[in-house]
Chain A
């Protein structure tokens, strides 16, 4: 279980997360929604351990361990996976090489035998088929020159290969057409299991038509201002984010134009 208590974090001296509480149990899928700049990506990067984000208060425990004390790669090896909102390009490094190195680093940590080239190719090709990626992407440099949709598929591919215990998807649906969206949703749904936790960060409710969350949270100005079930997402869809006040109170009249910006 992931237990976030009163988490405060800043970047470049600017406070972004201002006392965030969240509990995610094994087997649960949580959706986090919120307007741009509310701190969704900051939360995901803090959980993954990025140095630029300084935790100034609060705690995060993960299966009884102090998550914040673990180095970045240790978190990853222990099964924390972040699907990046903006996947990073690594010129000169083939996707195949990168994926194999990552998979084997994680397998080694879990006491599993490392894949040799043959095993790995068999495995990766099957997963690529599932996410609708052509084989040529194995031999191209990591994310280099990939379209937005291709980058997101590549994230889902990595998630499938690394079999995380806690996966955080940061706006993996943004900018995707409906087919790609279904691929992402399908990838997530295949991963759902009683021992896995998933945090799906999204700006739009439409992803939640395909990934049905157990809980929905609204993040605003660095705090969870509302939590609820699926219906909260629908409500947001209808009313937009404009009606969420700083303290999470609901204004009487939602803005005229519905839907997210």
Chain B
């Protein structure tokens, strides 16, 4: 890094007026490792952000300095050195592969199994797509059609420039920077993400997906997504993280905020397949994500559906705050951990309004040496008259080296609340495998058939094409799980 400024010098910037201080840094495409107020000023300046956002970031950073990483999750990993991370790196088109021939064949094989079309494979592998297919025009076509409905769908950075008032009004109102260690870190340094705004009364005419938004490819490890559905609006958003990332033990700390006003509906679906590390647990993504929806309006509805098959460590609890009366929150989840993967996931349903309703449906699958933990919190506030929750939490074990844990917590502070909880644990039996194989199926097909059967209730919540992808993904993720 030729343009890097020595650390001592950076420190001395701290007390200076920033406009002069980071000039050299600005020329660099990649900042040196480490985090300081100065680095944050550089990030903000590089993105041409308004003053309020810089202040917001700095405040989050100062808050973060006082916090410590959470230790309560049932995952273990070496301590992360937060000064050993690069917090800003401009899109580096040049070091990406230039054609499919340069891409790791293993990666391509995985895409092929997933049925990802060729041009998408190229894009996901990080090949400069412009040569492969005209993604820009695809994105533009979308934007035009959406614009006619008054829908805003763009990268977060773009939204900051074009609709700063909306960003200012809603950012951090669901997940405040002080919420937790990783949320604070994200707030300080987030690089980009998605922004969606559906105006009053508008039903979004198509599924919105990061898949088609070109900027998403270069979105860094600290993404920020903000989705707002005004009164009576509705939207279905797909977050496709099906690109297996190859980097070693990379930290991914995203924040997603959803806001639903009166009678609005937001459906958020994720199929996450970050690189999980190899079978011995080397490499892989640390996925520490804060996702939360705010049913701010009466009769609003927020629904999370997730299929988590990737990452070395997943730490993720998409939650819903049921603030509006008669609002509804759903959480449908499939989490698979194979080899040495660790998944600690679950949800929080915070009932504040009257007659609020939530459903939690969790399917955990553990194979190999994988460990899967479900953590559920259902909190019924004193004023949440007539609140109802139904929780079903099923675990499936493949082999005898894996583990499944369930930690349901119920805090009901209103006597009219009705909370139901069911949990099961089962193991794929040798007898089931033998039966299926006696009918001509391979062990792999038999396992994937049984697993898909186990997950069916969740898969049917996914949009069609995602459901197919999720099924294939489980098959791929389970390869080598049986001897």
Q: Is B442 an interface residue (CB 8 A)?
A: yes
Q: Is B81 an interface residue (CB 8 A)?
A: no
Q: Is A50 an interface residue (CB 8 A)?
A: yes
Which A residues touch B443, using CB under 8 A?
73
Among the 9-residue stretches A93-101, A120-128, A131-139, the one with 4 or more Cβ atoms under 8 Å from chain B is A93-101
The digit string for B404-436, where 1 denotes a CB below 8 A from any CB of A, is 000000000000000000000010011110111
Bound CA–CA A249/B336 (angstroms): 59
Among the 9-residue stretches A35-43, A84-92, A193-201, A229-237, the one with 4 or more Cβ atoms under 8 Å from chain B is A84-92
A109 contact from B440, B445, B449, B456, Cβ within 8 A: B440
CB pair B439 A158 closer than 8 Å: yes
Give 5 closest A-B pairs by Cβ, nearest first: A92-B453, A102-B439, A105-B440, A93-B453, A88-B435
CB pair B438 A76 closer than 8 Å: yes
Supposing A50-B434, A87-B435, A98-B436 touch, asked if A73 and B442 sit within 8 A by C-beta, the answer is yes
CB pair A102 B440 closer than 8 Å: yes
Which B residues touch A81, using CB under 8 A?
438
A93 contact from B431, B434, B437, B449, Cβ within 8 A: B449
The digit string for A63-93, where 1 denotes a CB below 8 A from any CB of B, is 0000000001101110001101001111111
Q: Is A162 an interface residue (CB 8 A)?
A: yes
B437 contact from A52, A76, A94, A158, Cβ within 8 A: A76
CB pair B440 A73 closer than 8 Å: yes
Bound CA–CA A27/B23 (angstroms): 90
Residue of B nearest to A45 (CB): B434
Supposing A90-B453, A92-B453, A92-B454 touch, asked if A101 and B441 sit within 8 A by C-beta, the answer is yes
Which A residues touch B441, using CB under 8 A?
73, 101-102, 105
Bound CA–CA A57/B437 (angstroms): 24
Closest Cβ–Cβ distance, residue A117 to chain B (whole Å):
15
Bound CA–CA A90/B453 (angstroms): 9
Which B residues touch A94, using CB under 8 A?
453
Closest Cβ–Cβ distance, residue A229 to chain B (whole Å):
30
Q: Which of B435, B438, B441, B445 has the most CB of A within 10 A?
A: B438
The digit string for A101-114, where 1 denotes a CB below 8 A from any CB of B, is 11001100100000
Residues of chain A having any CB pair with chain B under 8 Å: 48-52, 72-73, 75-77, 81-82, 84, 87-94, 97-98, 101-102, 105-106, 109, 141, 158, 162
Which B residues touch A72, using CB under 8 A?
434, 437-438
Which A residues touch B440, using CB under 8 A?
73, 76-77, 102, 105-106, 109, 162
Closest Cβ–Cβ distance, residue B460 to chain A (whole Å):
12
Closest Cβ–Cβ distance, residue A53 to chain B (whole Å):
11
A141 contact from B434, B436, B453, Cβ within 8 A: B453
Main secondary structure of the interface of B (DSSP, over half): helix
Closest Cβ–Cβ distance, residue B374 to chain A (whole Å):
18
Q: Which of A73, A75, A81, A162 has the most CB of B within 10 A?
A: A73
CB pair B435 A90 closer than 8 Å: yes
Q: Is B377 an interface residue (CB 8 A)?
A: no
Bound CA–CA A76/B443 (angstroms): 13
CB pair A82 B438 closer than 8 Å: yes
CB pair B435 A76 closer than 8 Å: no
CB pair B438 A92 closer than 8 Å: no
The digit string for B444-456, where 1 denotes a CB below 8 A from any CB of A, is 0100011011111
Residue of A nearest to B396 (CB): A92
CB pair B432 A90 closer than 8 Å: yes
Supposing A92-B456, A97-B449 touch, asked if A73 and B435 sit within 8 A by C-beta, the answer is no
A92 contact from B437, B439, B450, Cβ within 8 A: B450
Which B residues touch A89, using CB under 8 A?
432
Which B residues touch A93, using CB under 8 A?
449-450, 452-453
Which A residues touch B452, using CB under 8 A?
92-93
A48 contact from B436, B438, B455, B456, Cβ within 8 A: B438
Closest Cβ–Cβ distance, residue B295 to chain A (whole Å):
31
Which A residues touch B434, using CB under 8 A?
48, 50-51, 72, 88
Which A residues touch B453, using CB under 8 A?
90-94, 97, 141
CB pair A90 B436 closer than 8 Å: yes
Which B residues touch A90, using CB under 8 A?
432, 435-436, 449-450, 453
Closest Cβ–Cβ distance, residue B457 to chain A (whole Å):
9
Which A residues touch B435, using CB under 8 A?
84, 87-88, 90
Bound CA–CA A163/B445 (angstroms): 21
Closest Cβ–Cβ distance, residue B356 to chain A (whole Å):
30
CB pair B432 A88 closer than 8 Å: yes
Bound CA–CA A50/B429 (angstroms): 13
Residue of B nearest to A104 (CB): B440
Bound CA–CA A98/B439 (angstroms): 9
CB pair B439 A52 closer than 8 Å: no
Which A residues touch B436, using CB under 8 A?
90, 98, 102
Which A residues touch B455, using CB under 8 A?
92
| Interface contacts beyond A92-B454, A101-B441, A106-B440: sample of 5 additional A-B pairs, CB < 8 Å, sorted by A | A51-B430, A51-B434, A84-B438, A88-B432, A98-B439
Can you pick out 21 interface pairs between chain A and chain B where the beta carbons lie within 8 Å of each other? A51-B430, A51-B434, A52-B430, A73-B440, A73-B443, A87-B435, A88-B432, A88-B434, A90-B449, A90-B453, A91-B426, A92-B455, A92-B456, A97-B453, A98-B436, A101-B441, A101-B445, A102-B441, A105-B440, A105-B445, A106-B439
B449 contact from A49, A75, A98, Cβ within 8 A: A98
The digit string for B144-188, where 1 denotes a CB below 8 A from any CB of A, is 000000000000000000000000000000000000000000000
Residue of B nearest to A81 (CB): B438
CB pair A162 B439 closer than 8 Å: yes
Which A residues touch B456, using CB under 8 A?
92
The digit string for B6-19, where 1 denotes a CB below 8 A from any CB of A, is 00000000000000
Bound CA–CA A101/B452 (angstroms): 13
Which A residues touch B442, using CB under 8 A?
73, 105
Residue of A nearest to B424 (CB): A91
Closest Cβ–Cβ distance, residue A110 to chain B (whole Å):
10
Residue of A nearest to B453 (CB): A92
Bound CA–CA A72/B445 (angstroms): 13
Closest Cβ–Cβ distance, residue B453 to chain A (whole Å):
3
